[in-house]
Amino acid sequence: MVVAYKWGGIAFDDYAAVKHLVLPSNADEDAPVTFHDEAGNNYQVPSGKVFIAGKIIHQATSQTEVYRIGESASADGALAKVRIRINVTQSVWNRDDIMGVFDADTYVTCNGTANLSSQELKAESSLDGVEITI
């Protein structure tokens, strides 16, 4: 069983469903980057499943920027839908509760900031969540 809370956080009893996704390189407006799964591959939500992100650990190259994470149709592709927006208030590692549901057959991709292409979400930023059958 998985319970997703409206304002962030996930409760579950199936640890096989847990996913830890890592940003392999810095992502910005001009260079979107798809998160990698535990095996180091571009993460695509499997058919018949959704990925529910509940926690992010992140660092950015700039403060007070809004970074976007969403769905893309291809690895490192442009975002088709924005699922998570992060407002960075300091350039140190941050951990935040979030809520983002990613559809089947899409890639989980970071598109950096919506404001300046020189501002990047840093490599090794990570998303934690669960992958469940719909």
pLDDT tens profile 51-99: 999 889 988 766 656 788 999 999 999 999 999 988 777 777 888 888 8
What is the structure's pLDDT at 97? 84
Look at the chain and report how many structural domains it folds into.
1
For residue 46, the model assigns a pLDDT of: 97
Q: By the 8 A CB rule, do 86 and 20 touch?
A: no
Write down the pLDDT at residue 17. Answer: 83
The whole-number pLDDT of residue 14 equals 75
Cα 115 to chain centroid distance, Å, stands at 19
Task: Give the per-residue pLDDT at 92.
Answer: 78
Residue 89, domain CATH? 2.60.120
Q: Residue 84 CB: number of other CB atoms within 10 A?
A: 19
The whole-angstrom separation of Cα 79 and Cα 89 is 23
Domain that holds residue 61: 2-133
Structure tokens at 34: 């798809």
Q: 108-129, pLDDT tens digit by residue?
A: 999 866 555 456 788 899 999 9
* Rounded-to-integer distance, Cα 74 and Cα 76, Å: 6
Instruction: Name residue 22's amino acid.
Output: V
Compare 80 and 15 and report the one with higher pLDDT: 80
Do 58 and 113 touch, CB atoms closer than 8 A? no
